Amino acid sequence: MEFGQSRALFRRAQELIPGGVNSPVRACRAVGMDPLFIQRADGCHLWDADGNRYIDYVGSWGPMILGHRHPVVMEAVARALERGTSFGAPTDLEIELAELVSAAVPAVEMVRMVNSGTEATMSALRLARGVTGRDTIVKFDGCYHGHADMLLVDAGSGVATLNIPGSPGIPQAVTAQTVSLPFNDTQALRDLMDARGREVAAVIVEPVAGNMGLVPPAPGFLEALRQETARTDSVLIFDEVMTGFRVAYGGAQSLFGITPDLTCFGKIIGGGFPVGAYGGRRDLMAQIAPQGSIYQAGTLSGNPVAMSAGIATLKALRRDGVYHALETRSRRLAEGLQSIAARFGVSAVCNRVGSMLGLFFRPGEVRCFEDAKASDLQRFARYYRGMLAAGVYLAPSQFEALFVSLAHDETAIEATLEAAQRVLAELAT
């Protein structure tokens, strides 16, 4: 494949944009490449600036569950644009999307729209601190909840990819109130809550971790979170920015039968546009201004074009058979990758929950961030480059999940497995 146009664009970008990218993991340094610049997308495919076509498993980092340029979303956006792009005032579309989210997720009795997952988690934590009068936040190693100062502690996603332990520019006093525990370590959680539970405003977690690769919750882990936060009157926050409407229509909380106090959303509820949201119990959400005194605002929150895309996406996901199709295709891909790796003697394990999966280049289970970090990152980089050359577009990091969409039909899945067979055979040598 030729990448001349992408290289030229990257040189231009580096003159004006830090690192040449507007989000760090896009730089592709971890896999020994420069980023590709994407020209267009359709269905499950992307085309780069040089005209190369790829089967896409990034899906804009999760939102494109219907596939790119899905007709119902494109039509909804076109209709919204006829009304205007932004009003800075309420519209009926905000109510409709809020009704869809609340109906799908019973724990969400009220919801506030924002513009990103980072805004959602930051705002939910402010709410938790405000209603409890406490300062301490508990998170888990390898979980990434956006780039708010208090959350860049042992974080996943780009922080893990670039091996940045935190970030300069964040005062120590800000992170001093954040405690990070090993993911899936129920005993560590219980010990902390026994010792300091009455100081804890909130425990925030990705119920399925998607920012250290893909790591499912261990049996009993989420249940323990619910028990311990209830016992200490702390707020349990599920960060379902990735998992909301992805692993099930009602999110991970419906899949595992756990009811958090607050839930954060993003990605899919924007249908490809920048949207986030946080919601939960009515008594908590009523404390948000202007109904209450805990302040949070946003000029573009509830943007009508983004609301329209989200409404169209969620309505499409309600159709019969949607999640069965996603499950079937995702299982075929995950089992196929695991089988091929085993056939060629490549140490690898493929974790999956619903249409999210991750392939780790290491033997044994991956149940936490330390397990994920023990993966062979050089082998992953070779795998990434080989799959890209074979026409398969993956996230350029061992610590990111893959996303399957409804547009990934049997032909796309089989083509991906054929590419993996060639690449993993080479890695075995």
- Any idea which residues carry the catalytic annotation? 144, 239, 267
Is there a contact between 128 and 287 (Cβ–Cβ < 8 Å)? Answer: no
Is there a contact between 334 and 298 (Cβ–Cβ < 8 Å)? Answer: no
- Token pair belonging to 361: 């280049």
Is there a contact between 9 and 37 (Cβ–Cβ < 8 Å)? Answer: yes
From CA 420, how far away is CA 415, in angstroms rounded?
Answer: 9
Strands (E), 170-275: 178-181, 200-205, 235-239, 262-266
Nearest Cα to 246, choosing from 323, 145, 173, 316? Answer: 323
Pairing mode, if any, of strands 262-266 and 235-239?
parallel
Question: In DSSP terms, which residues pair with 56 in a beta bridge?
Answer: 393
From CA 388, how far away is CA 393, in angstroms rounded?
Answer: 6
Residues contacting 247, CB < 8 A, separation 6+? 208, 255, 353, 354, 355, 356
How many CB atoms neighbour CB 91 within 10 A? 16
Is there a contact between 366 and 360 (Cβ–Cβ < 8 Å)? Answer: yes
Pairing mode, if any, of strands 53-56 and 392-393?
parallel
Element (H, E) at 127: helix 117-132
From CA 53, how far away is CA 45, in angstroms rounded?
Answer: 7
Question: Computed from CA positions of residues 187, 157, 244, 351, in that sequence, does the dihedral angle turn out positive or negative?
Answer: negative
From CA 145, how far away is CA 204, in angstroms rounded?
Answer: 9
Instruction: For residue 364, give Cα distances in angstroms to 345, 354, 359, 367.
Output: 13, 21, 12, 10
Residues, the chain, total? 429
CA angle 308, 262, 291 (to 5 degrees): 75
